[in-house]
Amino acid sequence: MNIAKAFRGHIFDFSDKAHPHNLNQEYRYFEDGLLVVENGMVKHSGEFNKTKQLLNADVKIEDHSGCYILPGFVDAHVHSVQTQAIASYGKELLDWLDNYIFPNERHFENPEFADRHIDFFTRQLLKNGTTTAMVYSSVHDASVNALFRAAEKYNMRMITGNTWMDRNAPDYLLKSPEESYNASKTLIEKWHNKARLHFALTPRYAITSSPESLKVVSTLLKEYDDDGLYLQTHISENKKEVELVNHSYPGNHHYLDVYDSYGLLTPRTLLGHGIYLSEDELKRISQTGSSIVHCPSSNLFLGSGLLNLQNIIENDIHLAIGSDVAGGTSFSMLRNLHDAYTISALNGIPMNPLLAIYLITLGGARALDLDDRIGNFDVGKEADFVVIDTSKNELLSYRLENAHSIEEILFAIVMLGDEKVIKSTCLMGESIWRGENGLSR
Ligand SMILES: [Zn+2]
Question: Is the peptide bond prior to 320 cis by the omega test (within 30 degrees of 0)?
Answer: no
Distance 434 CA to ligand 1 centre (A): 29
Domain with CATH 3.20.20.140 in the chain: 73-367
Res 2: pLDDT: 62
Distance 53 CA to ligand 1 centre (A): 47
Superfamily classification of domain 73-367? Metal-dependent hydrolases (3.20.20.140)
Distance 321 CA to ligand 1 centre (A): 12
Report the C-alpha gap between 256 and 299 in whole angstroms.
19
Q: What is the 3-state secondary structure (H, E, C) of the chain?
A: CCCEEEEEEEEEEECCCCCCCCHHHHEEEEEEEEEEEECCEEEEEEEHHHHHCCCCCCCCEEEEEEEEEEECEEEEEEEHHHHHHCCCCCCCHHHHHHHHHHHHHHHHHCHHHHHHHHHHHHHHHHHCCEEEEEEECCCCHHHHHHHHHHHHHHCCEEEEECEECCCCCCHHHCCCHHHHHHHHHHHHHHHCCCCCEEEEEEECCCCCCCHHHHHHHHHHHHHCHHHCCEEEEEECCCHHHHHHHHHHCCCCCCHHHHHHCCCCCCCCEEEEECCCCCHHHHHHHHHHCCEEEECHHHHHHCCCCCCCHHHHHHCCCEEEECCCCCCCCCCCHHHHHHHHHHHHHHCCCCCCHHHHHHHCCHHHHHHCCCCCCCCCCCCCCECCEEEECHHHCHHHHHHHCCCCCHHHHHHHHHHHCCHHHEEEEEECCEEEECHHHCECC
Report the C-alpha gap between 205 and 292 in whole angstroms.
14
Report the C-alpha gap between 440 and 404 in whole angstroms.
36
Distance 194 CA to ligand 1 centre (A): 25
Distance 399 CA to ligand 1 centre (A): 34
Distance 328 CA to ligand 1 centre (A): 9
Res 439: pLDDT: 82
Distance 136 CA to ligand 1 centre (A): 7
**What region, left, alpha or beta, does residue 218 occupy, with left being phi > 0 and alpha being psi -120 to 50 degrees?**
alpha
Distance 105 CA to ligand 1 centre (A): 13
Distance 228 CA to ligand 1 centre (A): 22
- For the range 96-99, what are the long-range contacts, defined as Cβ-Cβ under 8 Å and sequence gap of 24 or more? 96/302, 96/327, 97/169, 98/170
Residue pLDDT, tens place only, 312-370: 999 999 999 999 999 999 999 999 999 999 999 999 999 999 999 999 999 999 999 99
Q: Which amino acid belongs to residue 323?
A: S
Distance 196 CA to ligand 1 centre (A): 23
Distance 324 CA to ligand 1 centre (A): 5
Distance 257 CA to ligand 1 centre (A): 20
Indicate the Cα dihedral angle 20, 21, 24, 26, nearest 10°: -70
Distance 185 CA to ligand 1 centre (A): 23
Start-to-end CA distance of the chain, whole Å, equals 23
Distance 41 CA to ligand 1 centre (A): 32
Distance 204 CA to ligand 1 centre (A): 8
Res 1: pLDDT: 53
Specify the pairing of strand 318-321 against strand 269-273. Answer: unpaired
Q: With b meaning 16 or more CB within 10 Å and e meaning fewer, what string describes 318-330?
A: bbbbbbbbbbbbb
Distance 84 CA to ligand 1 centre (A): 15
Specify the pairing of strand 318-321 against strand 291-294. Answer: parallel
Per the DSSP assignment, residues forming a β-bridge with 425 are 386, 433
Distance 327 CA to ligand 1 centre (A): 7
What CATH code is assigned to 4-71+376-437? Answer: 2.30.40.10
Domain with CATH 2.30.40.10 in the chain: 4-71+376-437
Distance 52 CA to ligand 1 centre (A): 44
Distance 202 CA to ligand 1 centre (A): 11
Distance 427 CA to ligand 1 centre (A): 25
Whether 32 and 6 have beta carbons less than 8 Å apart is answered as no
Nearest C-alpha neighbor of 413 from the set 309, 338, 346, 320: 338
Distance 295 CA to ligand 1 centre (A): 8
Distance 272 CA to ligand 1 centre (A): 6
| Whole-Å CA distances, 8 to 74, 99, 261, 417, 419 | 23, 49, 51, 21, 21
R_g of the chain, CA atoms, integer Å: 21
Distance 35 CA to ligand 1 centre (A): 35
With a cut of 70, list the residues of the chain below it in pLDDT: 1-2
Residue pLDDT, tens place only, 212-248: 999 999 999 999 999 999 999 999 999 999 999 999 9
Distance 322 CA to ligand 1 centre (A): 8
Distance 77 CA to ligand 1 centre (A): 6
State if pTM tops 0.95.
yes
Distance 58 CA to ligand 1 centre (A): 47
Report the C-alpha gap between 56 and 25 in whole angstroms.
32
Distance 370 CA to ligand 1 centre (A): 21
Distance 323 CA to ligand 1 centre (A): 9
